[in-house]
Amino acid sequence: MSAAAEVEVDDYDNESGYGDELSVATCLASFVARLIGVQSPLKWPALVRRIYHHLNPSGWVEFQETANTLYSDDGTLEPNNALVRLMHNLKIVHDKIGRTLDPAPEFKNWVSGAGFHDIKEQRFKFPVGLWPRDSRLKEIGALLSVNFTESVDAFTAKPFRDHLGWSQNEVEVMKAEVRKEAKRWEVHAMFDLVVVTAQKPDSE
C-alpha cells in the first residue's frame, strides 16, 4: 500500500458514511469476517448505488469475494462432506439474520443496475488444503485449511446454537468433522474467488 494512502473503517450500512466524492472505491470483504457475519451489508444493492453516487465520473470500483459454494472438479467433494454442510448451515444462519453469505454471484447484476459500465468479472480457484501441485495454489490452500481449522469455533459456536437450535454436542461434532475434512489430501475442495471491476461513466 502506498504511503500516501489513507485507510478509513466505517459502517457501510450507514447512509451518511461518505462526505467527499471518491475517485476510487474498493470493497474488499474478508472471508473470515463475512462468515461470522461481521462485514456483510444488510442491503448490498443500496451499498453499490451509494458507491456509484459518491464516485467521481470515470472512477472505478472493485469487489472481491469468494463464491461461498464449495465444489470439486473431479467429484472428490461429496454432498455430505462436513465442509459442504458447514457452508450450507452458515447460509441458513445468514438468511435468518437477514444477511447474505454469498453476494459474489450477484456483483455483476448489482453494479450494472447501479449504472456502472465496462463491467468485467474474473474467477480464480481457491483450493482448500495442501492437495494442489501448483505452489501458489498450495499456499492458498494451506491458508484456507487453517482458516477452517482455526476459525470453525467462531463460525459455529454461538450462531449454530442461537439460530439453528443445535446442542453443544452437535456443534462440537461438526467442528471436529470440519477440522478433519479441511486437512484431507484426497478431497479436492475449492471456492471461486470472484473479482468484479466496473467504471462509472464520464457523464450521466
pTM of the model: 0.79
Whether 147 has a pLDDT exceeding 90, the answer reads yes
Question: Does a structural domain hold residue 167?
Answer: yes
Q: Among 31, 54, 44, which Cα is nearest to 151's?
A: 31
Which whole number is the average pLDDT over 175-179? 97
Whether 15 has a pLDDT exceeding 70, the answer reads no
All three cell numbers of 157, joined, read 459456536
Which whole number is the average pLDDT over 50-68? 88
For all residues of the chain together, what is the average pLDDT?
Answer: 84
Q: Is the dihedral of CA 85, 106, 14, 28 positive or negative?
A: positive
Whether 24 has a pLDDT exceeding 60, the answer reads no
pLDDT band at 56 (very low <50, low <70, confident <90, very high): confident
Q: Which of 36-40, 85-89, 196-200 has the lowest mean pLDDT?
A: 36-40
pLDDT band at 59 (very low <50, low <70, confident <90, very high): confident
As to burial, measured by CB atoms within 10 angstroms (0-12 exposed, 13-18 middle, 19+ buried), residue 161 is middle
Question: Does a structural domain hold residue 133?
Answer: yes
3-class DSSP string for the chain:
CCCCCCCCCCCCCCCCCCCCCEEEEEEECCHHHHHCCCCCCCCHHHHHHHHHHHEEEEEEEEEEEEEEEEECCCCCCCCCCHHHHHHHHHHHHHHHCCCCCCCHHHHHHHHHHHCCEEEEEEEEEEECCCCCCCHHHHHHHHHHHHHHHHHHHHHHHHHHHHHHCCCHHHHHHHHHHHHHHCCCCCCCCEEEEEEEEEECCCCC
pLDDT at residue 72 in the model = 97
Which whole number is the average pLDDT over 107-136? 95
pLDDT band at 149 (very low <50, low <70, confident <90, very high): very high
Question: Does a structural domain hold residue 12?
Answer: no
Question: Does a structural domain hold residue 134?
Answer: yes
Question: Does a structural domain hold residue 121?
Answer: yes
pLDDT at residue 30 in the model = 26
Q: Which domain holds residue 27?
A: 22-199
Question: Does a structural domain hold residue 16?
Answer: no
Q: Among 89, 94, 121, 87, which Cα is nearest to 189's?
A: 87
Whether 79 has a pLDDT exceeding 90, the answer reads yes
Question: Does a structural domain hold residue 126?
Answer: yes
pLDDT at residue 43 in the model = 82
Question: Does a structural domain hold residue 78?
Answer: yes
CA gyration radius for the chain?
19
Total of domains in the chain: 1
Whether 103 has a pLDDT exceeding 70, the answer reads yes
